[in-house]
Amino acid sequence: MQDNATTDVLSADDVYTTLSNRRRRYVLDHLKKSKGPVSLRELSESVACRENGITPVELTRQQRKRVYTALHQTHLPKMDDLGIVRYDRHRTTVELSDEMRGVDVYLEIVPTGHFTWSQYYVLLAGLVGALTLALQEHLLPVWFDGILLSWFTVALFGLSAVVHYVQSRSIRIGTDDPPI
């Protein structure tokens, strides 16, 4: 087990390398939801259930053992070496490192085929810019003045920010929704 006191900051590469593997995303998701250390048995059962799309009652010993072995021999030691988890091989317990508990920015997942929020905000700024130009060139109705445009812009960005906040909370690893 690595002495995580020597690890100052997790690099983005380390986090992305970890997140590139679905099984490790399941591990992180389970650990983010737990309040402290979990047993390797509990963790392997959770991951095996997710991988197979079944409940713990339906899980076979072979399915759990396959995941247990892979976690024990490969994934958890690698994640421990990177400082992402603390894996105690003797007690077979796992917990998120303190550094990883604070790395939520990497844990938002953008589903395939969806706009990113940065693309959305660029489009929103373009819309407000086009309206501003139209107002300046007197292309809008007389009743549409600068004050109305200002309030429209505030409402649009405010509503967008609220939707962004709510939506991003629902696609983060460690929430009720399973990771992709």
Q: Quick: pLDDT tens for 101-119.
A: 666 555 555 555 667 778 8
Domain 4-107 sits in CATH at 1.10.10
Q: What is residue 180's predicted lDDT score, i.e. its pLDDT?
A: 47
Total Cβ atoms within 10 A of residue 180: 11
Whether residue 129 is predicted with pLDDT greater than 70 in this model: the reply is yes
Q: Identify the band that residue 1 occupies on the pLDDT scale cut at 50, 70 and 90.
A: very low
Residues 100, 82: Cα–Cα separation, whole Å: 10
Residues 63, 48: contact at Cβ < 8 Å? Answer: yes
Residues 61, 69: contact at Cβ < 8 Å? Answer: no
Residues 103, 10: contact at Cβ < 8 Å? Answer: yes
Q: Among candidates 175, 2, 180, which has minimal Cα distance to 85? A: 2
Q: What is residue 143's predicted lDDT score, i.e. its pLDDT?
A: 87
Cα–Cα distances (Å) from 57 to 45, 46, 54, 147, 176, in that order, read 10, 11, 8, 62, 20
Q: Is the dihedral of CA 57, 59, 65, 67 positive or negative?
A: negative
Residue 140 has phi, psi (to 5 degrees) of: -100, 160
Q: What is residue 76's predicted lDDT score, i.e. its pLDDT?
A: 96
Average pLDDT for 110-135 = 83
Average pLDDT for 36-57 = 94
Q: Identify the band that residue 7 occupies on the pLDDT scale cut at 50, 70 and 90.
A: very low
Residue 95 has phi, psi (to 5 degrees) of: -150, 155
Residues 138, 105: contact at Cβ < 8 Å? Answer: no
Average pLDDT for 25-32 = 89
Residues 175, 121: Cα–Cα separation, whole Å: 25
Q: What is residue 158's predicted lDDT score, i.e. its pLDDT?
A: 93
Residues 78, 84: Cα–Cα separation, whole Å: 9
- What are the extents of the domains in the chain? 4-107, 117-170
Average pLDDT for 107-133 = 79
pTM of the model: 0.58
